[in-house]
Amino acid sequence: MLTDAFLQDAARRCAIDLIGVTDTAPLADHPYYLDWVARGHAAGMGYLTDHRAHKRADVREILPSAQSVIVAAVLYNAPAQDPHLSRYAWGHDYHEVLRERLEKLVAELPAGYDYRVCVDTVPVLERALARRAGLGWLGKNTCLINQGAGSWFFLGEILTSLPLPPNAQAPPDRCGSCTRCIDACPTDALVPLGDRWELDSRLCISYHTIEAKEPAPEPLREHLGPLVFGCDICQDVCPWNRRAPVTLDPDFQPAHAPPPLDQLALLTEAEFRDRYRHTPLWRTKHRGFLRNVAIAMGNDPQKRYRPALEYLAANADSHVREAAAWALSRDA
Are 126 and 20 spatial neighbours (Cβ–Cβ below 8 Å)? no
Q: How many CB atoms lie within 10 A of CB 5?
A: 8
Active site residues: 120
* 140 is a contact residue toward ligand SF4 (CB under 6 A): yes
Amino acid at 311: Y
Instruction: Establish if 309 lies at the interface with ligand SF4 (CB under 6 A).
Output: no
| Rounded distance between C-alpha atoms, residue 313 and residue 266, angstroms | 12
Q: Is 57 in the site for ligand SF4 (CB under 6 A)?
A: no
Closest separation in Å from C-beta 74 to ligand SF4: 20
Tell me if 233 contacts ligand SF4 by CB under 6 A: yes
**Out of 67, 160, 206, 247, the residue judged to bind ligand SF4 by CB under 6 A:** 206
| CB-based contacts of 81, cutoff 8 Å, min separation 6 | 258
Residue 185 found at the interface with ligand SF4 (CB under 6 A)? yes
- 105, HSE (Cβ side, Cα atoms, 13 Å): 32
CB nearer ligand SF4, residue 109 or residue 204:
204
Residue 207: C-alpha distances to residues 36, 42, 117, 180, 262 (Å): 15, 9, 26, 20, 23
| 190 in contact with ligand SF4 (CB under 6 A) | yes
* Residue in 92, 99, 180, 278 binding ligand SF4, rule: CB under 6 A: 180
Cα 36 to Cα 42, 57, 114, 287, distances in angstroms: 7, 14, 32, 29
Q: What is the dihedral of CA 331, 82, 18, 92, to 10 degrees?
A: 100
Considering only residues 22, 141, 160, 284, which one is a binding residue for ligand SF4 as defined by CB under 6 A? 141
> Taking CB under 6 A as the rule, does residue 80 contact ligand SF4?
no
Stretch that binds ligand SF4, among 21-29, 123-131, 138-146, 267-275 (CB under 6 A): 138-146
- C-beta closer to ligand SF4: residue 59 or 185: 185
* Residue in 205, 228, 309, 328 binding ligand SF4, rule: CB under 6 A: 205
CA-nearest of 229, 225, 237 to 254 is 229
What does the alpha-carbon distance between residue 154 and residue 87 come to, in Å, rounded to a whole number? 11
CA angle 302, 303, 305 (to 5 degrees): 70
Q: Verify binding: residue 85, ligand SF4, rule CB under 6 A.
A: no
Is position 178 an interface residue for ligand SF4 (rule: CB under 6 A)?
yes
Which of 210/267 has CB closer to ligand SF4?
210
Residue 149 in contact with ligand SF4, rule: CB under 6 A? no
In the complex, the residues that contact ligand SF4 under the rule CB under 6 A are 139-141, 145, 175, 178-181, 185, 187, 189-190, 199, 204-206, 231, 233-234, 237-240
